[in-house]
Amino acid sequence: MSSLFNLLTTFLLLWTFVSLNLLSSALLINPAAGSRSLLRVVDGAGNQPGFAVDLNVTNFDQAFKDATTTYAIVEFFAHWCPACRNYKPQYEKVARLFNGANAAHPGIIFMTRVDCADTINTKLCDKFSVTHYPSLYWGPPSKFVGGGWDGKDEKSEIRFIDDGRTADRLLKWINSQLGSSYKLEDEKHENDHVTRSNVSDPGQIAQAVYDVEEATIIAFDMILENKMVKPESRGTLIKFMQLMVSHHPSRRCRRGTADILVNFDDLYLSKKHGLLDEFGICGKEASRGYWTFCRGSTNDTRGFSCGLWVLLHSISVRVEDGESQMAFTTTCDFIHQFFNCEECSEHFYNMCSRVSTPFGSKREYVLWLWTAHNEVNKRLKNAEESLKTSDPKFPKTIWPTKRLCPTCYNNHNQNEESSSIDWNHDEVFKFLSSYYGNMLVSLYKENDEEQIQIKNNAVSEQVLQSTNALVVPAGAALAIAAASCLFGALAWFWRSRQKNRKYFHKPQPLKIVPRRS
């Protein structure tokens, strides 16, 4: 009996070990389906993935909700389709221009792929009326979230790409939609002639919220790398971070900054400044490494300085009247103590020092910052023109232009380059409040409840075809089932053995020893 028990125990342990190993393999093959990460696995041949992002029903909506681009393309394909396999290199040639850290034209088109031969995606492909492979669809990313396409709605912003059979033809179709002249040979920052100007399109400011995140991350990276947090500057940093927690236009940066502030004293006192970066000032998923709204014609123009100005303006229009003076002094001190360009920080602080009367309203602070920015633009314009260092696509100018805000000018015939423009300050304030307020975050949805519900509904529809949290191979499922049966058999055997022991090993009566007197 004992040998049989030992044999069953050994067999059970062996099956459990196999089951756990298979289960671990399943977890490695398919991480949590609800993850926001778009990292793709290496294929079976050990090759690295391409530039187009592979999506499925579990991350489709979230990927497009998080997209920072103006447009998106989805290729619906089937992995068994020879034509799809032959088309993939053509699609990747175009995706290389728009996706990835080294994209020649970032922030414009988010290029993705969905495998309709994977049963988890069956209903997703049906929603887009996919009847043949490959099929390409074009539209704003937000329109793909919880959406579909049937080809009958003429007002739909999602369109079927009817001429994209080769890389050349697909790029030609894209250029016809955007009025652009992109080429397959374009490289990162080698495309000055096609850099988009943002001076005439007020809607492009909506892209800047991601550049504000980028600028925030870079600013705090520089502070940490240069060990700029000193006893005398610590208070200024904390106050500026408190401003960001309340008024940063990015929800991720507000949360990330709040997390750091909660732990700031412990980290600072323990001298573990490097740990501040591990928290992520804007969370773990914000950094992209490139600019969209703030992108210059060359690597050394615009970028960080533009993103920092947008951050300061966006905070200024969000403070309350009673916070205006505090926001002013905190911003002046922050730039003076933490902005690495010494000449720039001194010029900015000199402008701050000329203010003699405390601000009593948000309007006063917003208009002062706008005036200061124009003063900086005027000074830099003269210097850059004499040294020939200006960005030809984005020359410094007095702002806003008449095209952006015609009502900001009292005299509509006055030259924008005039040294003394007659501004309508009420209209300027309205424009700044809208431009750096609602327009800035128009593509950055603050309320995720509806999108979360859409995602949950999509996942629940597929629950019979897949398990969202874990995909278990058939071998692992059989192993787990067998282990469960063996465990039940072993439990029954153990109970029977204990029962038999109860009857075959009866306790002996105690022998009563008489007490000696």
The token duo for 156 is 């739909």
The alpha carbon of residue 470 and the mean position of all alpha carbons in its chain are separated, in whole angstroms, by 24
**Catalytic residue, candidates 84, 116, 294, 306:** 84
81 flagged as catalytic: yes
> Helix or strand or coil: residue 302?
strand
Find the radius of gyration of the CA atoms of the chain.
31
Query: What backbone phi and psi angles, to 5 degrees, belong to 166?
Result: -130, 165
Pure H helices in 272-303 = 274-279
β-pairing, 135-139 with 109-115? unpaired
CB 466 within 8 A of CB 473: no
The C-alpha atoms of residue 386 and residue 49 are separated, in whole angstroms, by 47
Q: Check if 84 is active-site.
A: yes
Question: Does residue 60 contact residue 15 with C-beta atoms inside 8 Å?
Answer: no
What are the Cα distances from residue 398, in Å, to 370, 374, 410? 10, 6, 15
Distance CA 257, CA 214 (A): 14
Alpha-carbon distance of 241 to 245, in angstroms, equals 6
C-alpha span between 136 and 151 (Å, rounded)? 13
37: left (phi over 0), alpha (psi -120 to 50) or beta: beta
Nearest by Cα to 366 from 302, 417, 435, 444? 435
Structure tokens, 163: 């001429």
Residues recognised as catalytic: 81, 84
